[in-house]
Amino acid sequence: METVSVNTAFGGVQGVYTHASAETATAMTFSVFVPEHEAGAKLPVLWYLSGLTCTHANVTEKGEFRRACAEHGVIFVAPDTSPRGDDVPDDEGYDFGKGAGFYVDATEAPWSANFRMRAYIETELPAVIAAHFPADMARQGITGHSMGGHGALTIALRDPARFRSVSAFAPIVSPLSCPWGEKALTGYIGPDKAAWRAYDACALIEDGARLPDLLVDQGTADGFLEGQLKTHLLEEACARAGQPATIRMQEGYDHSYYFISSFMADHVGWHAERLKA
C-alpha cells in the first residue's frame, strides 16, 4: 500500500492510498478517514460505496462525513467504483465500464479479466484495511449512493453476518427492473436473468435474505427516481417479507451530493449506534 496524500481533519487523519489489486489486476485507489483515538484502540468501520461515474474522491471531497465520524469514533472507507487503466476495457456510455463496476464479478469477456468489484469489496480490500488501519472488523457497517447503494444493499444481504448496520442514499433497488441494471448485468454477467438475482436487493429479499434493520433516504426531486431507482419496489419487497426498513422520502432533494451531504451525519450517527461495542 502506498500513501497518495494525508491531511488532518477534525483531529483525525484523512488519507488517500493506492495498492496493487490481485482481483482487478490493476492499481486501486481508496480513501480512509481515521478519527482521533487512544493508542491501541480499535474503531468500527463504515464502508461507503459510490455511484456511477464517481471515484473515491467524490464523497471524500463533498460527503461532509468527517465531523460526524470524529464525534462517533468511526473509520470511514471509500473505495473506487471500478478498475482503471489504459489496458482496462471500457464503454462509451457513462453507465458501463470504467466508473460503473456495479459491484459485481463479471463473467463475460472482456470484462471478466478486471471487473471483479464484488470480490474486491467483499474480500481483498477488507484485508488491506485490517492490516493497515486500527479497524475493528467485527464492527462493520455499509452505506452507498445510487449504484453504490445497490452495492451496499446486495453485499450486505448476501453476507448479513458481516455487517451490523446497512443504509443507502437513493439506491438502485432492482437492477432487474431498470435500464441501468439491464445494461450492466447483461454486459457483465450475461443474458441469464437467474444469475442476476444475486445482484438485486429486491430479489435477494424475495429469496429469503434478511438484515437486522435498514435505513434508506431518497429525494423526491431526484430525476432518476421513476425510471431507474424505483424506491417503491424496495418498500414493497420489504413489506411482503417483513424486512424491517425505514425508507424516508426527502421532499425537494435531488440525486446530488447536496442531498447526500444533507443526511450524511444522520446516517453516520445511525450506524454508530449499531456499531457500539
CA distance 180 to 22: 27
Catalytic residue among 21, 31, 82, 146: 146
Q: Cell digits for 167? A: 443504509
Burial of 107 (0-12, 13-18, 19+ CB in 10 A): middle
Bridge-based pairing of strands 26-34 and 43-49 is unpaired
Q: Are 167 and 150 in contact (CB under 8 A)?
A: no
Catalytic residue among 72, 145, 150, 255: 255
Q: Are 237 and 269 in contact (CB under 8 A)?
A: no
- C-alpha distance from residue 129 to each of 1, 105, 135, 239 (Å): 10, 21, 7, 36
Q: Nearest Cα to 242, choosing from 214, 217, 267, 270?
A: 214
Annotated catalytic residue 165: no
- Please calculate the CA angle 210-211-213 and round it to the nearest 5 degrees: 135
Annotated catalytic residue 146: yes
Annotated catalytic residue 37: no
Active-site positions? 146, 222, 255
